[in-house]
Structure 1
């Protein structure tokens, strides 16, 4: 039956009205940049291990919240930090710069200068783009007035300025560390002058409660919340609600509480209806486990641990969730580094990069597995303390160690007391991380062309940052 002119007119009018509505919505979005900018949650553990959580490892304690996050996001098995020591790793994450550029090496103590303010943090660049920002946890990249987090781009803060073992109950050198009280800070003020055992037990809970509260209060504007947990850095503690829960010892209890924390923060995002527009990043550690602490440290399948340049120190899993952009319940073996987080987040949030030079690059195409996406880096460099020790190819396939000494555990500790390290040495070595991820077989003479290319990368990096 032919359609009447009246009906045709009505349909045309509806189409025109629909187009006008869509156009007005587009204009509204253009006038309201907050509608397009995702929230960012970044969780970073301290001295964790590759196999601490399922689905990456098979721990004897449950970690359901990390498993849920993995099912709803993408798990990255080749995520690297440029140095396996606390302060250097944290500065690299928040600036996108190598330790060789910022000169933040090793682990800084109380009252240390830390990160030079000329290097912008992720908090500062997002704050300048209209984000509400917060940092709840262990800072450890500066303990002077202008280098603490409340002056480095974070609107709200709480936590420790340095590692939780730098206190009067240090198992090996309490007289030295007792010179400075381990303080708990909130928004630029000391609220606990001398942290004690009962306070340590509450750190994970306090950071979590602050993060959840911040999310609830910030739901109507774009926000960035950074949660660098103090645990499971020794000495390890958990709250009473997790004491004995794992039935595997204190380390299991601690990891169950950290898993709970991740779940609480993740659920807060869902409860506020923010899931679709939130980039959720969970990095399982700033470096590998502190192996000398034995039963108070995690387990990594890779060689060595914290304080070394083997993959047991530099490599830990990462989960990234961003609905509609990242396919859920997927796994990636593409390599990328913590120095890439800042430029990638800046890309996704339409935020200008800092004025200072940034070494990391936008790897969003790699994270989202775009067709033919390749890592934009020729190599990633790694250091230990102030010593440049080698490079990893951008595709994560090859790793070159320059000659250096490293520590290895001679006897593991027990019950919170550290064991003993001895010194070992590695000469120039090339490892194929695809076929030899545990760095056992030196392939230097088998692949001379690859070795030559990697040596050239190393020489280039050394000339840029260490030949002064």
Structure 2
């Protein structure tokens, strides 16, 4: 895919004043689960207003269809496979055993301390940094947020369905810094408390540049909402949870205005992967996309994304170009007056021309690669309008004749889709366009060979006893 000549040169200059940065990252929220992305039942007036005041990205991707790998990509700007944050071990009876696609409360590893996170880049530029919410990149001290560039941390260190037992109590822990302050965490009040913590950070840091990373625990199962929102939506408890998150977005935006930093702040909203559709009404919707969490169909890795920066990102605009969470690191680094690391391969690209709505701006990605949650090799690639799925075993989610959801690894044929005319991946064109199949397959093989040649290790195994959040 040829890029316009203007994008082959040095990218246009970023605005002179380094912005504050807020990244709101939800968990398992579907593509359709925002009003401005087509939700028929869930009300999201604050996100809708954010889109009307900023830019909506329709072709925005995460680098994995499950939690930990996706978060690693956001923090480092790299495909999870490049930094070996895609397949994880657990400690069972004193021995490391493999097979996990995310980190667990008995996982001894995490994001390698030598990786350079977005928080570390911004901290070096003088930013105050805070992580409020779900981390899921390792719960041992050497992997937690305060060892990865954040000044403070408040939240659950992994998924909310991962429990530790203390006495007769079981559930996920709530941490501040490196200490557990509540066990089990009261999940019904998490979104409200995360919001209060985020607003407190904004108010305290308004006189210097700040980076707020707000990765919500919800709507990952088990769902929980506060009494204020429980039972209020037309979409059951799942809708209640999303509407409370929307309230949280509104509180963050309100705090930015009240502190006089609204015009100096870039706010990004997206989700870590697609919805858990096999749980029916307890999960979200990725329509009109196919499938959801755990798959490499569009519903698993294409996410709703909204970006807002008054006066810098054109209001009410829509971007249909391919962009990814990996692009946030190099883009924000340059906006802050810094740069992405140059001593290692970074897969993300500077997408400021897209964000700024510059005439003729096109995606800087020749292709985007889909790595399945259980594999180390890519099984799909998108280049321009074409998306190729390799033949072989892949996870598929479907409903059987009894209406039951099935999520299973099955052998699937080569599939080729035209995403411009068939975003739901319903019509396989592989037999009609064998030349496209061949070209994309070769592209995928070349990229993966280079990725493996320039890969980096996962964090070394630590001692579970050093963390109060270990199982």
User: Structure 2 length as normaliser, TM-score?
Assistant: 0.84
Equivalent in the alignment of 1:185: 175
**Larger proportion of helix:** 1
2:419 alignment counterpart:
433
- Confirm whether residue 234 of structure 1 aligns to residue 221 of structure 2: yes
Match of 2:259 in 1: 272
Q: Contact 1:118 / 1:356 at 8 angstroms: preserved in 2? A: no
**Among candidates 341, 352, 366, match of residue 354 of structure 2:** 366
Q: Distance in 1 between matches of 2:354 and 2:283?
A: 32
Q: CA deviation at 1:179?
A: 11
Deviates more, 1:443-452 or 1:296-305: 443-452
Q: Indicate which of 117, 121, 137 corresponds to 2:133.
A: 137
The CA distance in 1 between the partners of 2:275 and 2:402, in whole Å, is 13
Deviation at 1:419, TM superposition (A): 5.5
2:437 to 440, 451, 459: 451
Q: Deviations over 1:35-92 (max 9, x none)?
A: 8211000000000001111110133232111111011000001001121010000000
How many angstroms apart in 2 are the aligned matches of 1:263 and 1:279? 15
Structure 1, 400-409 or 108-117: larger mean CA deviation: 400-409
C-alpha displacement at 1:164, in angstroms? 0.2
Tell me what 2:274 maps to.
288
The 2-side partners of 1:373 and 1:392 are apart by: 22
Superposition CA RMSD, Å: 2.3
C-alpha distance in 2, partners of 1:374/1:117? Answer: 34
CA–CA distance in 2 between the matches of 1:60 and 1:259? 14
Match in the other structure for 1:153: 149
CA distance in 2, matches of 1:35, 1:423: 50
Name the counterpart of 2:460.
Answer: none
**Greater CA deviation, 445-454 or 305-314?**
445-454
Name the residue aligned to 1:46: 27
- Residues 244 and 253, structure 1, Cα contact 8 Å, conserved in 2: yes
Partner of 1:107: 102
CA distance in 1, matches of 2:180, 2:42: 35
Structure 1 stretch 213-222 or stretch 179-188: which is displaced more?
A: 179-188
Alignment match, 1:166: 162
Partner residue of 1:388?
Answer: 377
Count how many residue pairs are aligned between Structure 1 and Structure 2: 419
How far 1:190 moved relative to its partner? 1.2
Q: Distance in 2 between matches of 1:320 and 1:35?
A: 19
Match of residue 39 from structure 2? 58
Instruction: Name the CA shift for 1:50/1:413 in 2 (closer, same or farther; >3 Å).
Output: farther
CA distance in 2, matches of 1:149, 1:282: 20
Structure 2 residues without counterparts, runs of 5 or longer: 1-14, 87-100, 456-471
Compute the TM-score of the two structures, normalised by the length of structure 1: 0.85
TM-aligned CA distance change 1:454 to 1:246, over 3 Å: same
| Aligned residues of 2:33 and 2:42 also touching (Cα < 8 A) | no
Please name the residue that 1:463 is paired with.
Answer: 449
Say whether residues 1:303 and 2:290 are aligned partners.
yes
1:319 alignment partner, one of 306, 309, 328? 306
What is the SS of the residue equivalent to 1:119?
coil
Match of 1:407 among 352, 372, 396: 396
Whole-Å Cα distance in 2 between the matches of residues 368 and 69 of structure 1? 16
Cα deviation for residue 316 of structure 1 reads 1.1
Greater shift, 293-302 or 362-371, is seen at 362-371
Give the Cα–Cα distance (whole angstroms) in 1 for the partners of residues 427 and 228 of structure 2: 46
Asked if the contact 1:77–1:333 (Cα under 8 Å) also holds between the matched residues in 2, the reply is yes
* Structure possessing the higher relative contact order (Cα contacts under 8 Å, 6 or more residues apart): 2
CA 1:401/1:328 → structure 2, altered by over 3 Å: closer, same or farther?
same
Matched with 2:60 is 79
CA distance in 1 between partners of 2:193 and 2:252 (Å)? 12
Checking the alignment, whether the CA contact within 8 Å between 2:372 and 2:379 is kept in structure 1 is: no
Per the TM alignment, residue 181 of structure 1 is displaced from its structure 2 partner at its CA by: 5.1
